[in-house]
Amino acid sequence: MTARLAHLNQVRADSNRVFELRVFRAVPGKLSALESRFRDTASKLLAKHDLKAVGYWLPDDAPASDNTFIYILAHPSREDAKKNWDAMVADPAFQEMAKSEQAEKLVEKVDVTYMHPADFSPMK
């Protein structure tokens, strides 16, 4: 028991790591275009600004499979997440992508959730 408590205290002391879950709801008929935007542009911008993608997902079952795109980012801390997002939003390449979203709207809604690992989580 003492070893487990020591491990928990060490994990808390060593890591402020957080994960960011982003769930995009695409405009009807635009999921494929949204997926392409991430494949061709957005994923590269995320990487450029140290926004580290854990993965990208598409639901298997309807109705979510018709319009949902999901990804998770890992950040050293909430502060690092904010700093990196601010840098990306200021990037002219991101601003160009945002302009293209105004010209051809692909996204109806984005849900963002920041999460931290439970003490028993295999991924810290």
DSSP 8-state symbol, 112:
E
Q: Please choose, from the candidates 106, 111, 101, 30, the residue with its C-alpha nearest in 3D space to the C-alpha of residue 71.
A: 111
Q: Please choose, from the candidates 42, 18, 10, the residue with its C-alpha nearest in 3D space to the C-alpha of residue 107.
A: 42
For tokens 């010209």, the residue is 103
CA distances, 65 to each of 8, 61, 79, 82, 92 (Å): 38, 5, 33, 30, 32
pLDDT at 1: 52
CATH architecture of the domain 17-115 equals 2-Layer Sandwich (3.30)
Q: Which residues of the chain have pLDDT under 50?
A: 5-14
Percent of the chain with pLDDT over 70: 89
Each domain of the chain, given as residue ranges in start order, spans 17-115
